[in-house]
């Protein structure tokens, strides 16, 4: 299965906004997804927004990205303007099912 359009959008936007190359930008996004137990193939826009706000800044600082907070604010704003429909919240069964699969 291919990565979700949301993952692709954020990874590409991160690559354009920083000095990270394509593999490093994708690895940064993938690492925060894995840390939060989300799948790059099915991550929702709401989930990605949360990760951009809470986990990605420290990951980017660790990769040497200057002004990681500003970069993440720009990524979150860009994702919000993509016109993606608001996602339905995950049910407890979906959350625990995702956690068990890991």
For the stretch 28-52, pLDDT in tens is 999 999 999 999 988 888 899 999 9
The larger pLDDT score, comparing residue 102 to residue 64, is at: 64
Q: Domain range spanning residue 95?
A: 5-101
Number of domains in the chain: 1
Confidence (pLDDT) at 16: 95
Answer yes or no: are the C-beta atoms of 48 and 10 closer than 8 Å: yes
What pLDDT, in 10s, does the model give residues 38-87?
999 888 888 999 999 999 999 999 999 999 999 999 999 999 888 654 45
Q: Could you give phi then psi for residue 90, rounded to 5 degrees?
A: -70, 140
């Amino acid at each position: 299965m291919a990565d979700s359009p949301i993952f692709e959008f954020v990874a590409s936007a991160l690559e354009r906004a920083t000095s990270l190359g394509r593999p490093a930008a994708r690895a940064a996004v993938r690492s925060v997804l894995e840390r939060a137990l989300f799948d790059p193939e099915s991550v929702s826009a709401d989930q990605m927004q949360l990760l951009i706000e809470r986990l990605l800044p420290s990951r980017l600082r660790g990769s040497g990205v200057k002004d990681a907070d500003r970069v993440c604010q720009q990524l979150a704003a860009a994702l919000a303007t993509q016109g993606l429909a608001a996602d339905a919240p995950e049910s407890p069964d979906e959350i625990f099912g995702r956690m068990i699969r890991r």
